[in-house]
Amino acid sequence: MYHTPSLDTHGSPRTHTFWPVTPRVPPPFAHQHRRYATTFAATGREVLAGGNATQLLVFDGVKMGAHVLVNGVLVGQVANQFLRYVLPLPAAVVGLRIAGNRLEVVFDDAIVLNGRFMACTGGWDWAFYSNTFRDNEPTTGRAATVTRGIWKSVYLVHVPAASVAITHVVPLPRYQGAYPTAPLADDAHGGFVVNVTTHLWAPPGGACGTLSVVGAWGATEVSPPLRLPFGDSAVSVSLHATAQQVRLWWPNGVGPDTRPLYNVTVSWVPAAPVAGVTEAQQGAQTPQGQRRQQQQQALEQQATSVRRIGFRVPALVTGNDTNATWVAGNANADGSDTHGMFLRVNGAAMYARGSNMVPMEEFEGRMDAQAHAVLVQSAAAAGMNTLRVWGGGIFLPDAFYDACDEHGVLLYHDMQFAGNGHMAMFANNASLEVEVRHQVRQVAIFLGFHGTVDSYCPSTSSPSKACRAAVRLMCARVLACV
């Protein structure tokens, strides 16, 4: 279980899972697994007593459509392989008890998916084709499939009354110096401002407190007192990083062989602990016992999450960027110019050397985090500094992105819209927009706060210009809320 009420699990181990990922069974039997069931214990006396504390049931990844039941009560439906589902569990509704709660995930072919599953799941020119199909999809038609199941972690998050769950932390560094066309140097660059947006969820009754943001380079900021309503909120705090405080992150084979990474730690500190004992019980305690009780309650109501960033100045150049007038005139321009195309990082022009990254497994449940880290390490050892994440697969495990940060590998990252039936054919699809928003915050595909992610693409395998235009409009809406 997560003792710290945080859903922002980037770079952190999953401390509790109910099931392993998709069953490791031969393809002919993959579709016989239609129901998963297990039992679990509930935590938090406030939840069991019917207070405002909440248990959140979190599915990091489920492939194909399914109904989720707790103690026989339907609590949600999942239909998007690329989306994290967070389901509140009202104790009174689902009858939560200390032990013996039953969780069921029941797969149902009648649930419409709108193509939001791995496009290569039933085969591609580089992957084997299956003879099992899904027939009722309005966008995909008859789609070949191989696997279905729970392919990522499932866990509980206990959110005490008047506390919060941290759902995402998005730190975005912005360079403060002039646009560079020659390699920058440590101790002499223009410094950065890091805008840290923290997304929080408060239980019924809301929460009061402050948000503390600490950068490992020596910067700390604390928000003014906050009163958060029930549900989702976002709070932004800015940190400064001078040239004397931070060193630059460089791609593999470009500039100095240095890639320092810095933690950004976000902590929610409640304004005052919510009493967990009655006045009569408090009266029976000694003053020392009451202080210990209050300290314990305050500790339980805190929430903390950590993200890691690198400081660099990336640019995708299609014009004459040595002309200061051109740079100023195109600071907010869209589209491409006619000067060719190349990457510049920290002012140094670089030659992109790399490969196309497709899923390492057609059976997603067998994916191994360490294997992804070794793959990136091998790519860097071969002299690569750029990988393209292909749009017919999946958003990759955290270990992949972390390894790219560590080994200096830039990413050109597709969204997962490759192939007919998996494109954003309905850009107003609510699930699709939530998916993109979640992935932007988790992986930072568009914003580039990850040490390595510098470019995104709607998906170069999508043949429809209208589809790509729709994706861009949707992404504009998403970026306004990141």
Q: Of residues 439 and 7, which shows the higher confidence score?
A: 439
Give pLDDT, residue 186: 95
**Cα→Cα distances 452→10, 140, 247, 472, Å:** 15, 33, 15, 22
In 92-206, at which residue ranges do the beta strands (DSSP E only) sit? 101-107, 132-137, 141-145, 149-150, 154-159, 165-175, 192-202
Asked if residue 36 has pLDDT above 50, the reply is yes
Give pLDDT, residue 30: 39
In the structure, what pLDDT confidence band is assigned to residue 134 with cuts at 50, 70 and 90? confident
Q: Sort 19 into a burial class: Cβ within 10 Å, 0-12 / 13-18 / 19+.
A: middle
* Exposure class string for 40-63: b at 16+ Cβ within 10 A, else e: bebbbebbeeebbbbbbbbbbbbb
CATH number, domain 27-152, options 2.60.120.260, 3.40.50.620, 3.40.50.300, 3.30.420.40? 2.60.120.260
Strand order in the sheet with 354-357: 354-357, 386-389, 410-414, 453-457
The pLDDT tens digits of the residues spanning 275-312 come to 444 444 444 556 666 556 555 555 567 899 999 999 99
In the structure, what pLDDT confidence band is assigned to residue 4 with cuts at 50, 70 and 90? very low
The third-level CATH classification (topology) of the domain covering 162-309 is: Immunoglobulin-like (2.60.40)
Q: What's the whole-number mean pLDDT along residues 357-386?
A: 93
How much is the pTM?
0.84
- Residues in contact with 249: Cβ distance below 8 Å, sequence separation at least 6, in sequence order: 258, 259, 260, 261, 310, 311, 312, 405, 408, 451
Pairing of strands 226-228, 207-215: antiparallel
Give pLDDT, residue 293: 54
Q: What's the whole-number mean pLDDT along residues 54-58?
A: 90
Q: Of residues 97 and 178, which shows the higher confidence score?
A: 178
CB 175 within 8 A of CB 181: no
**Cα→Cα distances 198→6, 82, 98, Å:** 11, 21, 32
Q: Does domain 314-479 have CATH number 3.20.20.80?
A: yes
Least confident of 64-78, 151-165, 247-261: 151-165
Give pLDDT, residue 290: 57
The pLDDT tens digits of the residues spanning 215-235 come to 999 999 999 999 999 999 999
The pLDDT tens digits of the residues spanning 331-353 come to 888 778 888 888 999 999 999 99
Angle at 163 (CA atoms; ends 67, 77), nearest 5 degrees:
10
Least confident of 52-56, 176-180, 416-420: 416-420
* Residue 11 to residue 166: CA distance in whole angstroms: 15
SS3 348: strand
Give pLDDT, residue 360: 92
Q: Parse the chain into domains and list their residue ranges.
A: 27-152, 162-309, 314-479
* Residue 100 to residue 87: CA distance in whole angstroms: 19
Give pLDDT, residue 423: 62
